[in-house]
Amino acid sequence: MVRTQIHLKDEQYQALRRAAQRRGISLSEAVRQCVSEHLAREESAPSRAELVRNALSVVGKFRDCEGRSDVARNHDRYLDQAYRR
């Protein structure tokens, strides 16, 4: 294990201390668990490239419910009209 020093905001420290007490673990173990959980979520999250690829994969797949075919050209005008309703 590596010894390190961190600075927490008072409210972070208090919340972490309460969580550690509820779980019956040390403050250090609570920090280690939080770091591990965060890193695991981050590693399993889709990359920005994947998010963009997924978003682009739906382009053109759906028809406008009002039958318009010029939405790409007049997007701003239609959006303005929708918000004025």
pTM of the entire predicted model: 0.57
Q: How many domains does the chain have?
A: 1
Q: Is residue 34 part of a domain?
A: yes
Q: What pLDDT digit, counting tens, does each position of 14-68 carry?
A: 999 999 999 999 999 999 999 999 999 999 999 999 999 998 898 877 777 777 7
Q: Is residue 81 part of a domain?
A: no
Range of the domain at 31: 10-49
Q: Tell me what pLDDT residue 40 has.
A: 96
Q: Is residue 76 part of a domain?
A: no
Q: Is residue 2 part of a domain?
A: no
Local structure of residue 58 (DSSP, 8 states): T
Q: Is residue 82 part of a domain?
A: no
Q: How many CB atoms lie within 10 A of CB 15?
A: 13
Q: Is residue 32 part of a domain?
A: yes
Residue type at position 33: Q
Q: Tell me what pLDDT residue 32 has.
A: 97
Exposure on the CB side of residue 1, measured as CA atoms within 13 A: 5
Q: Is residue 22 part of a domain?
A: yes
Output helix, strand, coil percentages for the chain, rounded to the nearest 5: 65, 0, 35
Q: Is residue 26 part of a domain?
A: yes
